[in-house]
């Protein structure tokens, strides 16, 4: 496999990703969007931009539902990812399925939530339609499951069976959602790192692992802060509730989990690479996403490796999507522009 | 080679005369306005009145656009109305006259738009044969028609709810369908479909029958409405034709008043001597036009015009107006392209005109092709514009002169030989391929001469501005000139004429000392100007180490630029050869062609060489002018002289 990949130049893919990155929203675009007064105006604006023109084809801005608008943004990013993977036939390499795996995990978690909440149809209603034909998991079949055990049974033969089968359901068929999420995400990251080690070599492997670890760490930092601030978790409990990748050397970040107060955690973040941003904000998500966006843009500008560029690009798109959804929601509920600007993930 | 001398003008008078004063300034055609006050001055303030004509102009513009009229400048002296109220009332009158027609048109268009939208929706339901009225009037069953994102279509069969659906048509992204559900459960089912982003189509009440019948009915109605709309259009058009003159006069008047009002933005408001409100206009005019300008204001009772030297007011920089004669005027476009000289700078147009014409002739020398350029520029004078055509005319003539010296006529290199033989001139014509060295050496010689002239111009400009670093110690100042000339004389004398010039005193006095002066130009210039030694220009602290390192690299760059700029002129000789080479190719192709094709090859070949090489030569000379010459003596930071005027424009920003 290595030999094949070595011969297989993916420079064109990197160039394509950079070109797509160039079409992403800038601060001016966000500012222009923020001047809109209603969801139809937002939809109309988005449908005129080069970035989302094709995604909004055939839609009527005047009648579009806000939820559908958000799903279209999500789908546009997913379609971009698929387009990049298919460009040089990279979709045949398991590593490149990483976004599909992530979306599949989201769908499974939706179903677990559906079982726990006993809300009929909530899974089907929220299931992103575009995933149905892309996924190897029978996503529609999952809706037939009434208990967690039934769900696991349907998932047999998929990569998600193993991590979920270790979790025991309650007698009433419900299950610990957080444990499931942790198990699925941990398994997903571990597989991704294994692919990075097995398939790629040298600086490519190093860069790839660095970007994946960065994502794990920044996600853990946000979760640990929330656990401390809102639930008062102890250091031990936090360590057991975050994504711990086996075999990874323990770094400076371990000290963060042991801090006593949320304020100390905020101080730590502000002085670390995970919280380095231009804006002075106490909202931890905004700070970390800002820093992540900057770091990922930097990685994308410098790398010559297709898997690294794709990973960075996908994560940048995710942040952009979050930002757009944030603006659209704020416009929908008539929030003040200054408040909106303050909470923007990137600006 | 001069810059027009300017006078700073201050016009003051009672506010009542402001419009007339501004009008006079526009009429003069040579008044460059400046803001009467810059920030911080306490004598008065800039007028900041709201332009009430602007709103009227916008209304009028919308009106004329609506009736399909293109505004053209029309004499409006016959229209006495002047105040915003009067003009606004005239607009009201016009709008009222058209109001009924406008409403009718709007109504028809809206109905057409609604019906067209319904038509599109019903097109997607073509497979449905039931009567819409009957379907919607069901008592126990609710029916919904609309479109569902195609991605969600496969979800439908997984819902265990009480509904069924009938798809009609699918596109890339949507599926048009109809769903039925019990009346009692319609809210639940509607919610469910809404969660899948089902977009319901609300059919108008008038839609009845099945899809085909409904479509036919809509088409009939659309036809009627379109006919009615066309009739309204005709009536609007009749209105426009009957009132065209009135509309044009009104538009021109409002445009003029609005534009005049805009000029007030630079006017200052001050208190007059008797406590009345007075205005102040500040600007520049050419000094020689002072009398003519004063003459214009004689009729105004309270307005006075005062002249001051151009540099009297430190808050405004005098604009630059180049003074050129008939021969050099077209080349101002080259100077403007680089940037106008400062008011107290030098006008390089004549230098550009001379060098550009000379270099073009040398590089593109052909009697026939030069003649085509000359005649072409006369024929295409209007299309090219007076300046560009003038330039082409001059370079065409130059090309003809040098073409004669080369003995080249449309690529025929021997055609002029008998002429020179009969005249007894044996050193002409120059045979390009036999005298390659002469051509290349001459090209470098021309380059050296032009660089030396550029340095002399720089020295002149430096002394004019009392900038001693630039004039004496700079790399293009006296020291640079001595160094450059000495090296050239030394090298040329030693290599070409075998003269032993490079003696120790020669090297020390004419090469080393000037180099040291250039190296220490900042402290030396400071010593001359401020009578004290300082290492940096702005007096900031600089260590000797920093000074040496910085100046070492700058010196390196200077010396390198002397060499590279001189060698750059080799391209002049290179193009002489390439032009002759390209024409040789055309001639060879022509020789190989049949007798019928020969004239065609000759014409196409000449046209090709003229277009391609003419373009390249023009660009290369611009490069030589800007990089090799202008960079040595010219800054180009001047402000253009822009007389105020009221130019009619049909465009109005909405």
**Residues A123, A132, A193, CA angle at the centre, nearest 5°?**
95
Q: What is the pLDDT of residues B506-515, one digit of tens each?
A: 888 888 998 8
Cα gap B370→B606, rounded to integer Å: 11
Interface contact flag, B171 A58, Cβ < 8 Å: yes
Residue A5 confidence class, pLDDT cut points 50, 70, 90? very low
In chain B, whose CA is at the least distance from the CA of A142? B158
Cα gap B481→B344, rounded to integer Å: 23
Mean pLDDT to the nearest integer, B187-215: 82
Specify whether the CB–CB gap between B455 and B632 falls below 8 A. Answer: yes
The pLDDT value recorded for residue B41 is 52
Residue A90 belongs to a domain: yes
Split into its structural domains, chain B has a count of: 2
Strand duo B199-200 + B164-170: pairing: unpaired
Specify whether the CB–CB gap between B18 and B267 falls below 8 A. Answer: yes
CB-CB neighbors (< 8 A) of B173 in chain A = 57-59
The pLDDT value recorded for residue A1 is 45
Cα gap B497→B362, rounded to integer Å: 26
| Element counts in chain A: helices (H) and strands (E) | 19, 0
Cα gap A59→A73, rounded to integer Å: 13
Whose tokens are 């210039």? That residue is: B525
Q: Which residues pair with A46 in a beta bridge?
A: none
Split into its structural domains, chain A has a count of: 1
Interface contact flag, A125 B149, Cβ < 8 Å: no
Q: How many CB pairs under 8 A join A and B?
A: 51
The pLDDT value recorded for residue B654 is 54
**Residues B254, B258, B261, CA angle at the centre, nearest 5°?**
140
CATH number at residue B203: 3.30.70.2750
Backbone φ, ψ for residue A220 (5° rounding)? -60, -40
Distance between B152 CA and the closest CA of chain A, angstroms: 5
> Hey, what are B129's tokens?
């044969």
Which of A71, A124, A130 lies closest to B159 in CB terms? A124
Count of CB atoms within 10 A of residue B214's CB?
Answer: 24
Which of B159, B174, B192 lies closest to A58 in CB terms? B174
What residues make up the domain containing B37? Answer: 2-47+267-319
> Is pLDDT at A187 greater than 90 in this prediction?
yes
Interface contact flag, A58 B158, Cβ < 8 Å: no
CB-CB neighbors (< 8 A) of B154 in chain A = 129, 132-133, 140
Residue A4 belongs to a domain: no
Interface contact flag, A132 B158, Cβ < 8 Å: no
Interface contact flag, B151 A58, Cβ < 8 Å: no
Q: Where are the beta strands (DSSP E) in B212-335?
A: 268-271, 277-286, 304-309, 322-323
Which of B154, B197, B199 lies closest to A140 in CB terms? B154
Helix (H) or strand (E) holding B97: helix B84-123
CATH number at residue B313: 3.30.70.120
Which of A57, A58, A125 lies closest to B196 in CB terms? A125
Cα gap B177→B149, rounded to integer Å: 11
Report the mean per-residue pLDDT for chain B: 85
Residue B95 belongs to a domain: no
Distance between A61 CA and the closest CA of chain B, angstroms: 12
Interface contact flag, A132 B194, Cβ < 8 Å: no
Instruction: Pick from A55, A63, A66, A72 the residue to mutate for testing the B interface (most B CBs within 10 Å).
Output: A63
Which of B152, B194, B199 lies closest to A129 in CB terms? B152
Cα gap B72→B384, rounded to integer Å: 25
Q: What is the pLDDT of residues B82-124, one digit of tens each?
A: 788 899 899 888 888 888 888 888 888 888 877 887 787 777 7
Q: Which ranges of A168-283 does DSSP label H, i.e. alpha helix? A: 177-199, 202-231, 235-241, 253-257, 262-270
Interface contact flag, B197 A68, Cβ < 8 Å: yes
Residue B301 belongs to a domain: yes
Distance between A125 CA and the closest CA of chain B, angstroms: 6
Specify whether the CB–CB gap between B400 and B367 falls below 8 A. Answer: yes
Residue A281 belongs to a domain: yes
Residue B338 makes CB contacts below 8 A (sequence gap 6+) with B626, B630, B634, B636
Interface contact flag, B194 A65, Cβ < 8 Å: yes
Residue B273 confidence class, pLDDT cut points 50, 70, 90? low
Mean pLDDT to the nearest integer, B201-210: 73
Specify whether the CB–CB gap between B411 and B586 falls below 8 A. Answer: yes
CB-CB neighbors (< 8 A) of B151 in chain A = 75, 128-130, 132-133
Residue A1 belongs to a domain: no
Closest by alpha carbon to B167, among B158, B176, B157, B159?
Answer: B176
DSSP string of B425-459? -SS-S--TTT-HHHHHHHHHHHHHHHHHHHHHHHH
Specify whether the CB–CB gap between B314 and B322 falls below 8 A. Answer: no
What residues make up the domain containing A153? Answer: 9-343
The pLDDT value recorded for residue B1 is 56
Distance between B220 CA and the closest CA of chain A, angstroms: 26
Cα gap A44→A30, rounded to integer Å: 14
Interface contact flag, A140 B158, Cβ < 8 Å: yes
Q: What is the pLDDT of residues B7-63, one digit of tens each?
A: 999 999 888 888 888 888 888 889 999 888 776 555 677 777 777 888 888 888 888
């Amino acid at each position: 496999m290595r030999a094949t990949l070595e011969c297989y130049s993916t420079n064109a893919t990197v160039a394509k990703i950079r070109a797509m990155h160039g079409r992403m929203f800038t601060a001016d675009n966000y500012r222009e969007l923020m001047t809109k007064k209603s969801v139809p105006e937002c939809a109309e604006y988005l449908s005129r931009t080069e970035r989302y023109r094709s995604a909004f084809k055939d839609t009527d801005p005047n009648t579009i539902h806000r939820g559908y608008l958000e799903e279209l943004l999500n789908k546009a990013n997913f379609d971009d990812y698929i387009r990049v993977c298919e460009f040089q036939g990279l979709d045949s390499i398991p590593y490149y399925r990483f976004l599909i795996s992530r979306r599949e995990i989201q769908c499974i978690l939706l179903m677990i939530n559906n079982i726990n909440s006993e809300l009929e149809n909530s899974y089907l209603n929220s299931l992103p339609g575009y995933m149905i034909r892309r996924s190897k998991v029978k996503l529609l079949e999952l809706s037939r499951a009434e208990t967690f055990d039934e769900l696991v049974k349907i998932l047999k033969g998929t990569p998600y069976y193993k991590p979920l089968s270790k979790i025991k359901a309650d007698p009433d068929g419900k299950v610990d959602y957080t444990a499931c999420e942790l198990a699925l995400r941990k398994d997903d990251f571990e597989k991704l790192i294994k692919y990075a080690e097995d398939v790629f070599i040298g600086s490519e492997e190093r860069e790839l692992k660095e970007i994946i670890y960065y994502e794990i760490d920044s996600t853990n930092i946000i979760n640990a802060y929330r656990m401390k601030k809102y639930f008062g978790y102890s250091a031990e409990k936090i360590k057991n509730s975050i994504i711990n990748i086996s075999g990874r050397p323990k770094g400076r970040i371990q000290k963060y989990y042991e801090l006593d107060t949320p304020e100390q955690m905020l101080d730590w973040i502000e002085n670390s690479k995970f919280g380095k941003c231009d804006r002075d904000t106490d909202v931890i998500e905004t700070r970390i996403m800002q820093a992540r966006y900057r770091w990922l843009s930097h990685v994308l500008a410098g790398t010559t490796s297709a898997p690294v560029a794709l990973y960075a690009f996908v994560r940048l798109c995710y942040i952009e999507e979050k930002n757009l959804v944030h603006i659209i929601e704020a416009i929908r509920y008539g929030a003040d522009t200054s408040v909106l600007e303050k909470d923007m993930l990137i600006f | 080679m001069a810059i027009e001398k300017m006078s700073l003008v201050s016009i003051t008078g009672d506010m009542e005369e402001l419009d007339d004063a501004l009008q006079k300034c526009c009429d003069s055609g040579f008044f460059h306005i400046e803001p009467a006050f810059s920030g911080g001055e306490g004598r008065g303030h800039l007028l900041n009145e709201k332009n009430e004509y602007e709103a009227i102009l916008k209304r009028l513009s919308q009106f004329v656009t609506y009736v399909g009229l293109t505004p053209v400048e029309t004499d409006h002296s016959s229209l006495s109305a002047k105040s915003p109220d009067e003009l606004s009332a005239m607009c009201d009158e016009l709008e009222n006259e058209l109001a009924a027609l406008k409403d009718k048109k709007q109504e028809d268009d809206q109905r057409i738009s609604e019906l067209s939208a319904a038509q599109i929706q019903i097109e997607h339901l073509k497979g449905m044969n039931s009567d819409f009225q009957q379907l919607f009037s069901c008592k126990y069953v609710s029916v919904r028609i609309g479109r569902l994102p195609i991605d969600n279509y496969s979800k439908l069969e997984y819902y265990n709810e009480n509904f069924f659906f009938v798809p009609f048509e699918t596109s890339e992204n949507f599926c048009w369908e109809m769903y039925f559900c019990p009346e009692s459960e319609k809210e639940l089912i509607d919610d469910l479909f809404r969660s899948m982003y089902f977009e319901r189509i609300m059919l108008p009440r008038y839609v009845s029958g099945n899809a085909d019948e409904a479509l036919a009915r809509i088409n009939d109605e659309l036809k009627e409405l379109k006919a009615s709309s066309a009739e309204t259009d005709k009536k609007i058009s009749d209105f426009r034709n009957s009132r065209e003159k009135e509309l044009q006069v009104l538009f021109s008047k409002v445009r003029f008043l609005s534009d005049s009002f805009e000029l007030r933005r630079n006017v200052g408001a001050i208190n007059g001597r008797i406590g009345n409100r007075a205005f102040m206009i500040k600007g520049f005019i050419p000094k020689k036009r002072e009398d003519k300008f004063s003459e214009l204001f004689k009729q105004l009772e309270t307005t006075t015009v005062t002249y001051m030297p151009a540099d009297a007011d430190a808050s405004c920089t005098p604009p630059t107006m180049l003074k050129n004669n008939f021969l050099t005027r077209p080349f101002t476009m080259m100077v403007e392209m680089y940037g106008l000289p400062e008011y107290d700078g030098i006008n390089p147009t004549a230098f550009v005109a001379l060098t550009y014409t000379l270099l073009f002739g040398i590089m593109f020398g052909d009697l026939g092709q030069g003649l085509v350029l000359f005649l072409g520029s006369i024929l295409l004078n209007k299309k090219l514009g007076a300046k560009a055509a003038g330039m082409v005319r001059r370079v065409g003539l130059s090309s003809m002169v040098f073409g004669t010296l080369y003995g080249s006529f449309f690529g025929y290199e021997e055609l002029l030989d008998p002429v020179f033989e009969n005249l007894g001139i044996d050193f002409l014509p120059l045979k390009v391929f036999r005298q390659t060295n002469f051509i290349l050496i001459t090209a470098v010689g021309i380059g050296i001469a032009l660089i030396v002239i550029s340095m002399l111009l720089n020295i002149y400009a430096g002394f004019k501005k009392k900038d001693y670093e630039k004039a004496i110690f700079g790399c293009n100042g006296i020291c640079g000139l001595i160094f450059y000339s000495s090296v050239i004389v030394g090298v040329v004398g030693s290599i070409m004429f075998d003269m032993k010039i490079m003696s120790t005193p020669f090297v020390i006095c004419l090469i080393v000392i000037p180099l040291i002066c250039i190296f220490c130009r900042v402290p030396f210039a400071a010593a001359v100007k401020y009578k004290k030694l300082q290492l940096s220009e702005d007096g900031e602290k600089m260590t000797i180490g920093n000074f040496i390192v910085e100046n070492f690299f700058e010196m390196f760059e200077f010396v390198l630029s002397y060499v590279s700029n001189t060698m750059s002129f080799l391209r002049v000789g290179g193009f002489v050869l390439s032009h002759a080479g390209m024409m040789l190719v055309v001639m060879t192709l022509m020789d190989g062609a049949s007798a019928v094709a020969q004239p065609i090859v000759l014409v196409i070949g000449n046209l090709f060489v003229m277009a391609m090489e003419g373009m390249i030569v023009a660009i290369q000379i611009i490069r030589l002018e800007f990089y090799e010459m202008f960079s040595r003596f010219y800054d180009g930071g001047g402000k253009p002289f822009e007389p105020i005027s009221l130019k009619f424009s049909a465009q109005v920003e909405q």
